[in-house]
């Protein structure tokens, strides 16, 4: 059995540097994984300071050597899959293959999506999730890739990052019911 820690990407004391320091402490204490939430607006009523999880994960990757790193349920419907593909490959290389990407729909829909003019309908977000996973896998293969679905697709897309390999990435999913 392996053990991991997951922390929010918001709060008064949260910063990329503080999260990287905590990742070092977790690694020294023997933890196996360290995962960050990925919220843009956790609460409409609380004014919480947010940290970009990818910047914080990059800082953690540089400061640690063994512990697995990743997001705790990345809301893929909120992201452009081609940008996320590039980010994940880059972070996987930076961490020497320690990235774990967990994806899901993202919740709460009205706060995380609606507040910024994004789609809140769960069925539409589920379609974006499915199609986003297809595009990620295609771009990770390191070959020319085309995809056309309900959402904007890619034609002859190619991820020009050395070593892009879908089989290398730890990919997980989560659903909040």
Q: In whole angstroms, give the CA distance from residue 81 to residue 122.
A: 18
pLDDT in tens, 66-101: 999 998 888 888 888 888 888 998 999 999 999 999
Q: What is the pLDDT of residue 159?
A: 55
Q: In whole angstroms, give the CA distance from residue 143 to residue 137.
A: 11
* Sheet architecture: strand order including 4-7: 4-7, 33-36, 68-75, 99-104, 170-173
* DSSP annotation string for 93-147: HHTTS-EEEEEE--S-HHHHTGGGT----HHHHHHHHHHHHHHHHHHHTSS-EEE
**61 touches 69 (CB < 8 A):** yes
Biggest CA pair distance of the chain: 46
Average pLDDT score, the chain: 81
Q: In whole angstroms, give the CA distance from residue 17 to residue 134.
A: 34
Alpha-carbon Rg for the chain in angstroms: 16
Which H helix or E strand runs over 62?
A: helix 53-63
pLDDT in tens, 34-67: 999 887 777 677 778 889 999 999 999 999 999 9
Q: In the predicted model, what is the mean pLDDT of residues 136-164?
A: 66
Please state the φ and ψ torsions of residue 26, each to the nearest 5 degrees: -65, -40
CATH class of 4-173: alpha beta
Q: How does DSSP classify residue 104? A: E
Q: What is the pTM of this model?
A: 0.81
Domain limits, the chain: 4-173
Which residues make beta-bridge pairs with 132? none
Q: What is the pLDDT of residue 137?
A: 84
């Amino acid at each position: 059995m392996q053990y991991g820690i997951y922390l929010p990407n918001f709060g008064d004391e949260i910063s990329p540097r503080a999260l990287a320091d905590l990742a070092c402490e977790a690694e020294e204490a023997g933890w196996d994984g360290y995962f960050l939430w990925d919220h843009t607006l956790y609460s409409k009523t609380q004014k919480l300071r947010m940290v970009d999880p990818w910047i914080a994960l990059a800082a953690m990757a540089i400061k640690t050597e063994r512990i697995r790193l990743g997001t705790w349920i990345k809301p893929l419907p909120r992201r452009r899959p081609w940008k996320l593909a590039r980010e994940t490959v880059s972070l996987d290389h930076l961490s020497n293959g320690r990235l774990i990407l967990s994806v899901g729909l993202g919740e709460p829909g009205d706060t995380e999506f609606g507040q910024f003019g994004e789609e809140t309908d769960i069925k539409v977000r589920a379609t974006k999730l499915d199609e986003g996973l297809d595009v990620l896998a295609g771009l990770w293969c390191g070959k020319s890739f085309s995809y056309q679905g309900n959402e904007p697709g890619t034609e002859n897309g190619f991820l020009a990052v050395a070593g892009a390999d879908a089989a290398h990435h730890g990919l997980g999913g989560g659903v909040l019911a």
